[in-house]
């Protein structure tokens, strides 16, 4: 896979990032990591999560020819999934300064605040679309929660489908 372009998931949490990373692995991308640290990014062929979201422009600069996938869903279903996730799987961040810094930079909150999160969702999607507006062949919007998968991803990457179902992971609190 080292000769193939890298592929980065730039969708926010609860938009299919884990499924996206599993899909890249099925396509032969290696290594791929969900929520890597900044120091690990340069060693990956693909990944997604808050660190990728924060540094996608940097990744685009140091890895020309990379492909970017904005995993997405409707803002309403995303907020419902975020709320369920915060209620059913709280992730205390007290003392975890890197996690706090990433969340504040992306969402401007650490917890569940509906209006603040909705604003972050709209702001992030707008920024990604603006950044790639003159390069539409480098960005794919993929609604994993809505059932999109290989039919959109494989043509975008220029590789054949692996012939297995697209992964659907972490749906326990996302539906």
Sequence spans of domains, the chain: 7-157
Neighbours of 100 (CB within 10 A): 13
Q: Which residues of the chain have pLDDT under 70?
A: 1-3, 89-94, 171-175
Q: What is the CATH number of domain 7-157?
A: 3.40.50.300
Q: What is the pLDDT of residues 136-153, one digit of tens each?
A: 999 999 999 899 999 999
Vertex 157, ends 152 and 159: CA angle to 5°?
Answer: 95
Share of the chain above pLDDT 70, in %: 92
pTM: 0.91
Q: CB atoms < 10 A from the CB of 2, how many?
A: 6
């Amino acid at each position: 896979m080292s000769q193939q372009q890298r592929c980065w998931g730039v969708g926010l949490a609860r938009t299919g990032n884990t499924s996206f990373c599993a899909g890249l692995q099925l396509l032969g991308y290696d290594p791929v990591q969900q929520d890597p640290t900044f120091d690990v990014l340069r060693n990956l062929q693909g990944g997604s999560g808050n660190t990728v979201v924060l540094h996608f422009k940097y990744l685009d600069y140091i890895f020309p020819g990379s492909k970017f996938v904005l995993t997405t869903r409707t803002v309403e279903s995303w907020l419902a999934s975020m709320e369920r996730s915060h209620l059913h799987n709280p992730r205390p961040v007290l003392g975890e300064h890197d996690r706090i810094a990433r969340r504040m930079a992306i969402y401007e909150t650490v917890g569940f605040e509906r209006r603040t999160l909705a604003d972050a969702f709209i702001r992030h999607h707008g920024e990604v679309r603006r950044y790639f507006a003159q390069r539409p062949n480098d960005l794919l919007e993929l609604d994993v929660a809505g059932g999109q998968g290989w039919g959109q991803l494989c043509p975008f990457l220029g590789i054949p489908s692996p012939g297995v179902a697209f992964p659907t992971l972490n749906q326990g609190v996302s539906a």
